């Protein structure tokens, strides 16, 4: 077996840690927690809120993986234990935005591999079978952010300044962008209307408009909401309730390779290796550094930051 792990912070020019936390326990579990970067920049004891959530969940998964019978618990029981551990750590902090994280983990269960995931951290089996959950709310944020970026770029603003302004607008809300004079009220409304239409959320226009006006800083209210059309399951100290859980097993005899990866990689490579993942990342950066075209997403890259942290774990020759 060949094991490769790469964990790269989004911060290009400092030693600051990102929000991805890999789990590497050969013979027990391999996984990644991708903490949600707090739009308000909340820091707890020197640790960003997203990283705090990821570290806490990684510790809970490690304990479960090393506890007899832990890897065989039903999915609901695993999530309950993990959520309770996270709540004990974060609820007393009384933060406005509950620290949250994704989880994708592969448990070694003797004759089988067990694949479990909550959130949009992905897994790939044998170089072709993708296991990954999408969040419609990210499609909404992406479409609006790209529109804001293009609008500001047309004014002649420098690329990094454009990205900073567009990022601030989508994180903190279009109402603030209007208040600060970054966008006119009419332009902001046109962006909202175009986003609703492009993402086919006309039936939920009011919810989408309220979200965009308030920004990603309000997104946490959709976490684990079983009713909202913008809802998504996450690990935030409350139980996931939407059923958005990957939980399956494969006999080891049928698995030759496993890859676990965060959404800091905008495309998947054709081959199985960390080098292939990095080549795919570099190609995407070269083609669409601002993430407004083929690889559009919620944030773009700048001279100081990549658009996101990125982490990949590769197990090959299984």
Separation between Cα atoms, residue 276 and residue 280, nearest integer Å: 6
State which residues of the chain have pLDDT below 70.
none
Length of the chain: 318
Domains and CATH numbers, the chain: 2-133+233-316 (3.60.40.10), 137-222 (no CATH)
- pLDDT of 74-131, one tens digit each? 999 999 999 999 999 999 999 999 999 999 999 999 999 999 999 999 999 999 999 9
Q: What is the C-alpha separation between 167 and 169, in angstroms, rounded? A: 5
Backbone angles phi, psi at 36, to 5 degrees: -75, 120
Tell me the C-alpha distance between 147 and 162, whole Å.
Answer: 12
Alpha helix locations (H) across the chain? 49-66, 75-90, 136-153, 159-172, 174-179, 185-198, 205-214, 274-287
220 neighbors 43 (Cβ within 8 angstroms): no
> What's the distance, CA 252 to chain centroid?
28
Is 119 within 8 Å of 34 (Cβ atoms)? yes
pLDDT in tens, 118-154: 999 999 999 999 999 999 999 999 999 999 999 999 9
**CA 27 from centroid of its chain's CA atoms:** 26
Q: Where are the extended beta strands (E) located within 240-289? A: 245-251, 257-261
């Amino acid at each position: 077996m060949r094991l490769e792990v790469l964990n790269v912070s989004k911060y290009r020019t400092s030693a600051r840690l990102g929000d991805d936390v890999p789990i590497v326990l050969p013979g027990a579990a391999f996984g990644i927690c991708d903490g949600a970067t707090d739009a308000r920049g909340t820091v707890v004891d020197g640790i960003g809120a997203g990283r705090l959530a990821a570290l806490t969940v990684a510790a809970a998964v490690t304990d479960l993986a090393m506890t007899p019978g832990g890897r065989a618990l039903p999915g609901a029981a695993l999530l309950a234990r993990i959520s309770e551990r996270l709540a004990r750590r974060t609820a007393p902090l009384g933060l406005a935005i509950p620290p949250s994280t994704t989880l994708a983990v592969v448990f070694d269960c003797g004759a089988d591999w067990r694949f479990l995931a909550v959130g949009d951290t992905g897994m790939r089996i044998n170089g072709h079978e993708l296991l990954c959950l999408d969040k419609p709310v990210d499609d909404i944020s992406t479409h609006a952010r790209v529109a804001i970026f293009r609008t500001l770029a047309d004014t002649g603003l420098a690329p990094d300044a454009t990205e900073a302004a567009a990022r601030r607008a989508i994180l903190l809300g279009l109402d603030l962008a209007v208040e600060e004079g970054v966008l006119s009220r009419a332009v902001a409304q046109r962006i909202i209307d175009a986003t609703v239409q492009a993402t086919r959320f006309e039936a939920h226009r009011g919810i989408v408009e309220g979200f965009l006006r308030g920004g990603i800083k309000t997104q946490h209210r959709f976490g684990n909401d079983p009713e909202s059309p913008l809802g998504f399951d996450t690990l935030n100290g409350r139980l996931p309730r939407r059923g958005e859980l990957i939980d399956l097993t494969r006999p080891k005899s049928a698995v030759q390779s496993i890859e676990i990866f965060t959404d800091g990689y905008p495309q998947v490579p054709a081959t199985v290796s960390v080098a292939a993942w990095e080549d795919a990342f570099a190609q995407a950066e070269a083609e669409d550094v601002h993430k407004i075209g083929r690889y559009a997403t919620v944030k773009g890259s700048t001279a100081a930051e990549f658009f996101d942290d990125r982490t990949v774990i590769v197990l090959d020759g299984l």
